[in-house]
Amino acid sequence: MAMSDTEMMLRGYGLTTAELFYRMPDYQHVLNSFIWQDYDLAPDHPKLFKFIEFWQDEIEGPLHSVRFTHRKQISPGEWRNCVGELTLH
């Protein structure tokens, strides 16, 4: 069963965004870019590296470089459990 985005964030996952630069097989002098985004665990980034391996095995455009960033959406000091809510006019 897949975890929801909130469950993943509470377990330490953060949003990883990668920009992959690649060359098209017919136009080797032209660089293209592809943006990939998913929740992943730092510092190992297993989902990102699995996607890069998939790219290298299945896609004809050879990778030139990969640039990525990782940000945790919820850190320990930012989340708290609220039991009730009070609404004023």
Q: What is the pLDDT of residues 21-71, one digit of tens each?
A: 999 889 889 999 999 999 999 889 999 999 999 999 999 999 999 999 998
Contact 20, 66 (CB under 8 A): yes
Contact 40, 14 (CB under 8 A): yes
Q: Give pLDDT, residue 10.
A: 81
Q: Give pLDDT, residue 79.
A: 61
Question: Cβ-count burial of 61 within 10 angstroms (0-12 exposed, 13-18 middle, 19+ buried)?
Answer: middle
What's the CA angle centered on 67, arms 27 and 63, to 5 degrees? 30
Question: Hey, what amino acid is at 54?
Answer: F
85, pLDDT greater than 90: no
Q: Give pLDDT, residue 67.
A: 95
Q: CA 17, CA 71: separation in Å to the nearest integer?
A: 9
Question: What are the sequence ranges of the domains in the chain?
Answer: 15-71
